[in-house]
Structure formats: structure tokens, C-alpha cells
């Protein structure tokens, strides 16, 4: 039977800190679910909308101190933190070691993807100036657009699935044509719905 480890987690933006007890051989997805359960005490949170980062750098964890408070308020994810893939096991080499001891450290940083536009990754992500929040907004912006491509990489952008939720996608092909988006976009369920409707109205 796998031993139980205690991971202290901190949430970007919100600033809350809490401990999660979980089996050492559990998957990152299982950790996501436990964190989502804790966060749902305030409002319902889907584990699929959580992105987790391991804070250990050079065999050192970040401390639960005033510097952490500042870090969480900056709403900028240090690109040196490791993005934890959902399929990984926590005891995977390079993650939570067999001699792991909690102490007063923070082990996991949590990002809620529905707020991802306000939590960019340093030197990597782009914060959109105008976030498409609805199909109606997209239609309004697209009223003056005609002769959209019917083949090529533009159409591939409308084939995203839920498996891509949380990924940062290059949408420069859309930006070049419609001109009202940024070049990169985090995939969320809401975005998939907008693209599906746009697809049906303009591409078929």
C-alpha cells in the first residue's frame, strides 16, 4: 500500500493555502480532484479547470511566508515552475521523492483556468486585450468579415476537443484573418462552444 503524503497547495489570485493528503502513487488528476473538492466549499470548481505547478527548484521548495503572498498577488506564473501533467504519478522521478517531508513549504501552485487570462505565464503567455465571452460577441465582431477560408490551417483551429482544455494554443491563423484576437489563447469549454457555433454559421 502506498504511503500518504501531505502536499501544501496555494491558489493564484485567491491566495488561499491548504493541505491535501493523498497517496504517493496517485496521479496528478487525482490530486486535481481533491483540490477541486476543497475549493468547491466556496463555489463549484471542476478539476478539469485546474492547472497545477510543482514549486521545487534546485531541490528547494518555496516557503509559506510573506514572499508567497506577494507571489500569489502578482498573478504571474514563474515559467521555471514545472507544469504537472494529469497523467503523471506523483511519485514519478523528479516530482515527489520517496524521502519527501512536508515542513513549512508550498509544494503545489494552483491556477483556476477560467481566470487564466489574468494569470499569464511569465515570458510565455499573452494576455488578451479583448476576451470573447459569448457567441454573440464573436458574431458582432465578425459582421464585416467575408470570404473566410474553406481549407487550410484556419479550419484546423475549429477541430479542438475537450482534451485540449488548459492548453495554450497558437491562433495566429485566426488573428491574421479576423484581426480581433490575440495570437495565443487558452482553450476552455466556453471557447469550444463559441468556435463550434462560429464553425456552423460561417464554415458550412
The residue ranges of every structural domain in the chain are 4-118, 135-202
Tens digits of residue pLDDT in 179-188? 545 666 666 6
pLDDT band at residue 35 using 50, 70 and 90 as cut-offs? very high
102 DSSP assignment: -
What is the length of the chain? Answer: 204
Q: Residue 32 pLDDT more than 80?
A: yes
**Please, what is the Cα angle at 106 between 104 and 112, to 5 degrees?**
150
**What is the torsion angle, in degrees rounded to the nearest 10, for the CA atoms of residue 143, residue 168, residue 15 and residue 80?**
-150
1-11 b/e with 16+ CB inside 10 Å = b? eeeebebbbbb
Fold assignment, 4-118: Ubiquitin-like (UB roll) (3.10.20)
181 DSSP assignment: S
pTM: 0.56
Q: Residue 93 pLDDT more than 80?
A: yes
Amino acid at each position: 500500500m502506498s504511503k500518504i503524503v501531505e502536499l501544501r497547495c496555494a491558489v493564484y489570485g485567491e491566495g488561499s493555502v491548504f493541505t491535501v493528503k493523498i497517496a504517493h502513487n496517485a496521479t496528478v488528476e487525482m490530486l486535481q480532484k481533491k483540490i477541486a473538492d476543497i475549493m468547491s466549499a466556496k463555489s463549484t470548481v471542476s478539476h478539469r479547470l485546474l492547472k497545477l505547478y510543482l514549486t521545487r527548484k534546485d531541490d528547494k521548495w518555496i516557503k509559506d511566508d510573506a514572499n508567497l503572498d506577494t507571489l500569489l498577488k502578482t498573478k504571474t506564473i514563474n515559467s521555471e515552475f514545472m507544469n504537472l501533467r494529469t497523467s503523471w504519478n506523483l511519485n514519478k522521478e523528479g516530482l515527489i521523492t520517496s524521502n519527501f517531508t512536508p515542513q513549512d513549504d508550498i509544494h503545489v501552485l494552483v491556477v483556476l483556468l477560467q481566470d487564466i487570462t489574468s494569470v499569464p505565464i511569465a515570458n510565455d503567455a499573452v494576455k488578451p486585450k479583448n476576451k470573447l465571452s459569448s457567441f454573440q460577441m464573436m458574431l458582432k465582431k465578425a459582421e464585416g468579415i467575408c470570404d473566410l477560408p474553406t481549407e487550410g490551417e484556419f479550419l484546423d483551429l475549429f477541430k479542438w476537443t475537450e482534451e485540449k482544455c488548459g492548453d495554450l494554443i497558437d491562433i495566429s491563423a485566426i488573428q491574421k484573418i479576423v484581426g480581433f484576437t490575440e495570437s495565443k489563447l487558452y482553450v476552455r469549454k466556453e471557447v469550444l462552444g463559441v468556435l463550434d457555433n462560429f464553425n456552423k454559421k460561417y464554415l458550412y
